[in-house]
Amino acid sequence: MKNLYMTLLTMIKGNIMGWLNIKKGMILILILMLSSLFLAQIVSSVGVSGKTLRVSDIFYEPGGDTLSYQFKGVVVPEGGAELTVEGDFADWIELSKEELLYDGEWDFTASIIMNGDVHPPGGETGAKVCVKEKQVSGTGMFGSVVQSCVPFEVVVLYDEAYPVLTMSSSVGVEEVNLTLSVQNYGKETMNVGSGEMVILDYLNSTIDSIPFGVGTVVQSQKITSVQETVNISNYLPGTYPIETNVFIDDEEYSVQGSFVVGKEDVTLVSFPETIILDGIQRVSITAKNEWADEANVGLELYFGDLLVGTSTPLKINAFGEGSYTIYADTSSFSLGEMTGKVVFSFGDGLTAEESVTFSFVEDGGSNLEENLDEPEGMNVWLIVGVIVVLLILLIGIILFIKSRSEDEFDDEEF
Amino acid sequence: MEEHKVLTGMLLVALVVSVVGTVITVDRLGALGGVSGLTGAATTGDQYGNLTISEVVAIKTTGDIDFGTGEFDVGEDYQFMSSYAESTENDNSENTTFPSVESIPTNRTKVENQGNVGINVTVSSTKIYGTGGNSFLCAGDAGPCGLGHSDSDPEVDFAFIALDEGSDSCNETAQRTSFAETVPYQVCDCLTAETGLNSMHVYLEMGLTRDAAGQKTSTLTYTATKADGSGVCFVA
């Protein structure tokens, strides 16, 4: 490489065309440009693609059929990638390959083997199938390796019936639906009988009780659900715990949940602690809709009593958050602590006001921001390489044209 | 003859533009990482289209942190080192000949989501904090190491700091985490795949003592998996 640069220097100093013709020069220049790419910063990259990259809701049934999943390696590095399986369930996942070669076929299969001699214990388990870069990059204090993984979330069926209960609730203004789901993680069928949903207040006192009767037979791996509707129009805003008891195969099980009664209100979630005092500045504000229905929420920002910015209404989902960006003119303020307010407008002429305290600060030119904005080494090297090549070529062109002119002049003299 | 010279010059200029354009294009395409998440298949007979968009989880790291080389100044025996300029009052060069924190050759690793779904990113280290046998500071050290610091002394920490690049790239970023074990620690629960917002930075910090001589090394493994749920990040 050193010789190459020396050669190029000689080319510039001497008569370039007398030493080398244009074609050879271009080859050298191309080599120089390509080498500048390879001298760039260390980059590690690897990936995996497939129909789904989080394989969940899989039931392992001892003696059952093998389940196979197709994947493909993405951006396999020159050193190749190894395929690995990690986790408690790793022994029951079989890969079609051990590695992916840079210039080879990148498809592979991961199979869940259920008909082996040894089976995993019952319950929820899992493993990760990973495409891992083979070579450690970096030559100094720290090396790095990247890997992209596909989690497998598996339920190994229990020998007997095994109910798994979950409680969920919908969002509503006047009514909410409470849903009890019962899934059978066992090999045997089970009978879901009667039960009740008890609504509690924040002191855990019973507010309401909703009895239900199911009488459903649930097969292995299957799920059944019970849904009850509660009128909440007389409920105060807040979170209400639910405790549900149900008899399954004559044994009582219980599960907890909750639902939220909303309030037609908007609250401030975040406001910057400092704002740079320098002309027009961006102010990011986050608000939360406390109502159980979507709302169009407008915003006004005041520094002191001076209105410095407004936002057109933003549609925020029920109990969701919305982000606003206000461009406020800071030129009429001075450094130091400042109070202000954020006024939200929503619903049918409703407003909510939140006071804010922040500080106007000088533009310190944060090192972090500077660091973040600087281009990556790859691009810097590329640009430097291109500029060097352009300069060399321009000098070459000038020398070439000049030498031809002198030749013609000599010919004419001759 | 004059015309020939002009033509030659124009040819060379065209050649330069062509080569430079090709290199830049290749570079830009390289940034895509060869990710091809769209696959399609048309069925026969029923005359309807079938399009499947494959999920892609892909991670790219750029730049391995390099504190450079150095030694302790005479009479000094401890130095807190950081690659993040704003995290510490100390300067790496205060008691040593190491480069100052502002002039570290490479001060961070950029972690980029190259796929089409939000990813959970973790990092694990082959070495841990403290002064034990597998510590970053003292592993492989034959003689005394740690200058009286206990294994859990925060002064002999080995930790990482994860930060959004700009803002809005990570749903919940880990702030500062010590490598207490060789297990994976979360860098980001959901790093978005949205172009322009899909990267973040990892910085390293550690305490060094005079008696821990020799080259200190550790391999950091960055792991990407599809984020929980649908893989869509709700970045604040």
Residue given tokens 């869509």 in the structure block: B232
Are the beta carbons of A376 and B110 separated by less than 8 Å? yes
Going by their DSSP bridges, the two strands B218-226 and A142-156 should be labelled as: parallel
Residues of A in contact with B221 (CB under 8 A): 132, 144-147
A95 and A69 Cβ atoms separated by less than 8 Å: no
For the record, the structure tokens of A326 come out as: 């206000």
B232 at interface of A, judged by CB pairs closer than 8 A:
no
- Report the residue of A27, A31, A74, A268 to disrupt the B interface, i.e. the one with the largest count of B CBs within 10 Å: A74
User: For residue B180, what pLDDT is reported?
Assistant: 94
- Report the residue of A33, A56, A84, A371 to disrupt the B interface, i.e. the one with the largest count of B CBs within 10 Å: A371
- Report the residue of A31, A142, A269, A400 to disrupt the B interface, i.e. the one with the largest count of B CBs within 10 Å: A142
For B84, phi and psi rounded to 5 degrees?
Answer: -105, 110
Are the beta carbons of A149 and B23 separated by less than 8 Å? no
CA distance A399 to chain B (A): 11
- Report the residue of A141, A319, A403 to disrupt the B interface, i.e. the one with the largest count of B CBs within 10 Å: A141
User: For residue A47, what pLDDT is reported?
Assistant: 95
Are the beta carbons of A389 and B16 separated by less than 8 Å? yes
Lowest-confidence region among A78-92, B21-35, B172-186: B21-35
- For chain B, positions 85-114, list CB contacts with chain A under 8 A: 85-86, 102, 106-110, 114
Tens of pLDDT, residue by residue over B55-78, are 999 999 998 888 888 889 999 888
List Cα–Cα distances, A298 to A112, A257, A321, A354, B200, in angstroms. 53, 33, 13, 14, 32
Over chain A (414 residues), what is each successive 10-residue block's mean pLDDT?
44 45 42 38 86 91 93 92 96 96 94 94 94 82 92 94 95 96 94 96 92 91 94 94 96 96 95 91 92 95 94 93 91 93 94 95 54 42 72 78 65 48
List Cα–Cα distances, A142 to A371, A375, B66, in angstroms. 20, 22, 7
pLDDT band at B14 (very low <50, low <70, confident <90, very high): low
CA distance B121 to chain A (A): 9
A374 and B5 Cβ atoms separated by less than 8 Å: no
CA distance A368 to chain B (A): 7
AA letter at A412 = E
Residue A18: partners with Cβ closer than 8 Å, 6 or more residues away: A403
CB-based burial label for B5 (10 Å; 0-12, 13-18, 19+): middle
Read off the pLDDT of each residue in B25-43 and give the average, rounded to a whole number. 40
Please determine, for residue B34, whether its predicted confidence score (pLDDT) is greater than 80.
no
**Which of B9, B52, B201 has its CB closest to that of A51?**
B52
User: For residue A399, what pLDDT is reported?
Assistant: 79
CA distance A185 to chain B (A): 21
- Report the residue of A29, A54, A366 to disrupt the B interface, i.e. the one with the largest count of B CBs within 10 Å: A54
Are the beta carbons of A397 and B37 separated by less than 8 Å? no
List Cβ<8 Å contacts ≥24 apart for A332-340.
A332/A306, A333/A277, A333/A303, A333/A360, A334/A277, A334/A360, A335/A277, A335/A360, A335/A361, A335/A362, A336/A360, A338/A275, A338/A303, A338/A304, A339/A304, A340/A301, A340/A302, A340/A303, A340/A304, A340/A308
User: For residue A37, what pLDDT is reported?
Assistant: 38
Please determine, for residue B124, whether its predicted confidence score (pLDDT) is greater than 90.
yes
Are the beta carbons of A54 and B231 separated by less than 8 Å? yes
* A210-238: burial string, b at 16+ Cβ within 10 Å, e else: bebebeeebebeeebebebebebeebeee
User: For residue B167, what pLDDT is reported?
Assistant: 65
Residues of B in contact with A106 (CB under 8 A): none
Q: If you measure CA to CA, which chain B residue comes closest to A369?
A: B166
Provide the Cα torsion B91, B94, B95, B96; round to 10°. 80
For A248, phi and psi rounded to 5 degrees?
Answer: -125, 120
Residues of A in contact with B84 (CB under 8 A): 368
Are the beta carbons of B35 and A49 separated by less than 8 Å? yes
**Which of B13, B35, B55 has its CB closest to that of A75?**
B35
Nearest to B115 by CA among B193, B47, B16, B230: B193
**Which of A37, A376, A404 has its CB closest to that of B5?**
A404
Q: If you measure CA to CA, which chain A residue comes closest to B5?
A: A401
Please determine, for residue B144, whether its predicted confidence score (pLDDT) is greater than 70.
yes
pTM of the prediction? 0.66
Are the beta carbons of B12 and A393 separated by less than 8 Å? yes
Does the predicted interface ipTM exceed a cut of 0.90?
no
User: For residue B65, what pLDDT is reported?
Assistant: 87
List Cα–Cα distances, B115 to A388, B54, B230, B232, in angstroms. 34, 10, 14, 12
Mean pLDDT of chain B: 79
User: For residue A21, what pLDDT is reported?
Assistant: 47
User: For residue A292, what pLDDT is reported?
Assistant: 95
User: For residue B166, what pLDDT is reported?
Assistant: 64
**Which of B16, B23, B110 has its CB closest to that of A393?**
B16
pLDDT band at B142 (very low <50, low <70, confident <90, very high): confident
Q: If you measure CA to CA, which chain B residue comes closest to A147?
A: B223
Nearest to B194 by CA among B110, B121, B111, B113: B113
**Which of A372, A382, A400 has its CB closest to that of B165?**
A372
User: For residue B50, what pLDDT is reported?
Assistant: 58
CB-based burial label for A179 (10 Å; 0-12, 13-18, 19+): middle
Angle at A136 between CA B214 and CA B110, to 5 degrees: 95
